[in-house]
Structure 1
Amino acid sequence: MDWVRQNLGHLTRGQIFSIPTMTMIEEYVRRDNQFIAGPDQKYVCSSDDLAEFNIPQGISISTYDRSNVIKLYEHTVFRHALSYQSDSPRPDRLASVAEHKGKIVGIAGASEDSELMWQVGVDVLPEYQGLGIGKAIVGTLTKRIINEGIVPYYSTEVSNLQSRQLAISLGYKPAWIQLYAR
């Protein structure tokens, strides 16, 4: 924190995300064999903000809870939706699954990032994108998270305009931007 205060404490919020500042941060974390990831836009949603959504024709949606979400780990192509780690420090708690003719075509998952907030991630097979499936499974999942008394938050890379639009279309509101070291 001393380094942050000394080197970044005087900067405006616009300067924090500038290329020279990110380069300085990258050089600092590289000493520990880390790199900077992001920036990611974070969104939150409440029951008052959640927008209506439709389930596309021919698509069925089911929800998996903490007792059976691990069964989805055999479907390894949905990397943005699930952690695929049964011992993850941020365990998968819920998932909404879209199926078309018995084939899983999309998954939205919720990981328990804290007791009060669960992160939503989503993946839809490329040939099924643009049909409203992502919105339907994220909307279904968001409603379930809210019903659990948890705040859902959605995270996406700032450059992923399609994902950002999905969040906004469901009533998610921008909340914060995050850079992190890995």
Structure 2
Amino acid sequence: MGGIGSGRHWYWGAKDTTDDYRSIDVRRWKRDGLLIPDQAFGWQWSRHGEVVASIRVRTELSRVILTYRHRSGGEDWKDESYPVYLDWTTCHLGGQRPWFLCPARGCGRRVAILYGGGIFACRHCYQLAYPSQRETWDDRAARKADRIRDKLGWEPGILNGNGWKPKGMHWNTFERLTAEHDAFVQISLAGIAQRFGMKF
């Protein structure tokens, strides 16, 4: 992460983003069959293959109980255990979709994802922006160029130059994607040059 064209800049007074917090996604838990009542499971977050945080979850008919320890800065560890209520909506093609009801005092907003601070709460309660909301126009161009690089199987990073046509891809498709990529790269480099007062 980081470096020119990485798409991440920090500004004075900017909001934290959803990527800055650990999260739990009720859709993932449903997909993994973890919302069946009367069971317990652990949920972990890893970085570089090492577990950096975990919680215990107990499921009930209309809620889950989250249990974990946390601390801020150099403070003592604090035990937390509280319910997060669930709401279910009917899908158009059958079945039901689960939602968390944000447990923060005075909220109760229906959301798919909760973010962990002292308690798990919705992004509105923590005033979190999505990473894309923090992007400048040239960051956005670099991200779009990198998305095309991924499609083409090229090395990530707009400064790494163009690669070859992937095997099996039509030449017309390859030429169109390469032209789009190159246009996004030009936009991104122009923004970087402008930011650092360089001529481009």
Q: What range is the shorter-chain TM-score in?
A: under 0.3
TM-score by length of 2: 0.23
TM-score by length of 1: 0.25
Structure showing greater Rg = 2
